Amino acid sequence: MSAFILRRLVHMIPLLVGITLVSFLIMQIAPGDPVDLLTERNATAEERARVRTLYGLDRPLYVQYWIWLTNMLQGDFGHSYVRGRPVLEMIAERLPNTVYLNLVVSVLIYSVAIPIGVASALRQYSTFDHTVTGTAFLGQALPNFWFGLLLIYGIALRTEAIPVGGIATYGVTLAEHGVWPVLVDRIRHLLLPVIVMGFSAMAGVTRYMRSGMLEVIRKDYVRTARAKGLNERIVIYKHAMRNALLPIVTIVGFQLPVLFSGSVIIENIFSWPGLGTLSVDAVFMRDYMVVMAFNVIGATLVILGNFIADILYVVVDPRISYE
């Protein structure tokens, strides 16, 4: 097992380098140029050339990539062309907000969607099942921005306790107000974005769990378990559910990059200071250093997520081993 882990880790390195190389090239080859956005429209060729030199954009692509790669490996992701700030600093101040929101949403999704999926599988074609399935599809079908605005106008504007947006009320701090008011304030701000994100993501997990459970429940070993007179609870939770969880584990692995990626729509609607806006703005402004940092982080997380999913398989499924 540890040999497998080591091997996978070693394989990650060329994969990562490959991904960064390809994304670096695609970004540079794509039309649009940061120099056009930084200089005046009527800047002379010399002025443009000077800015180009200043940011090292005049060098051959492979040199630029090499410089970027070696700096990156030393932990230097460069400065934003537009804001002049270190890229890592810009990401670091937004990252906690994004992870915080996504973590709450994920915990909520799994703790609610898994039991619902199981229950609706056990009562297949009942009214409960139809309601759950219907709601799940509705959640997936509703556009986030529309649902979000609906909640803002329907709830936030009518309820004193629910703010229109933001992450916390200005001036409510641990030092001044203590734990409880801060917690309450945070939850008030979380409520609407969590509902919107949870509602749309819940559908998938519920459906996975339901179909996984339906499949397992008809398996011979479940019938055997029942036949040997086991308690129904043990049949369901020990014999059936553990097996039905396998596909969910795959999703958990893929969930890792999602946890660190912001949604522009949710952030815009709920004025949430996350990574989504930052990354999209960077692409539109051709802020290469920022874009590349996001590419590296994204690629790393996807690879790591897959890796974790593979490890989790071993944990939950004794049939799988990587010896």
Give the footprint of other proteins on this chain (CB under 8 A): 31-34, 36-45, 50-51, 54, 79, 82-85, 90, 93-94, 97, 145, 149, 152-153, 156-157, 163-167, 170, 264, 267-274, 277-278, 284-286
CB of 145 to other proteins, least distance (A): 8
Alpha-carbon distance 209 to 247, whole Å? 8
CB of 42 to other proteins, least distance (A): 4
Alpha-carbon distance 155 to 134, whole Å? 23
Complex with other proteins: residue 150 or 234, whichever CB lies closer? 150
Q: Which of 248, 227, 218 is nearest to 315 (CA)?
A: 248
CB of 172 to other proteins, least distance (A): 13
> What DSSP string runs through 271-298?
T---HHHHHHHHHHTT-HHHHHHHHHHH
Alpha-carbon distance 271 to 257, whole Å? 22
Complex with other proteins: residue 212 or 276, whichever CB lies closer? 276
Here the contacts of 309-315 (C-beta below 8 Å, separation 24 or greater) are 309/249, 309/250, 309/252, 309/253, 309/254, 310/8, 310/253, 311/5, 312/249, 312/252, 312/253, 313/246, 313/249, 314/1
CB of 164 to other proteins, least distance (A): 5
Complex with other proteins: residue 36 or 232, whichever CB lies closer? 36
CB of 271 to other proteins, least distance (A): 5
CB of 202 to other proteins, least distance (A): 24
Helix axes 179-217, 87-122, angle to 10 degrees: 50
Complex with other proteins: residue 42 or 74, whichever CB lies closer? 42
Residues 20 and 295 sit within 8 Å (Cβ to Cβ): yes
Complex with other proteins: residue 152 or 297, whichever CB lies closer? 152
Complex with other proteins: residue 100 or 145, whichever CB lies closer? 145
User: Which position has the token pair 């996350």?
Assistant: 274
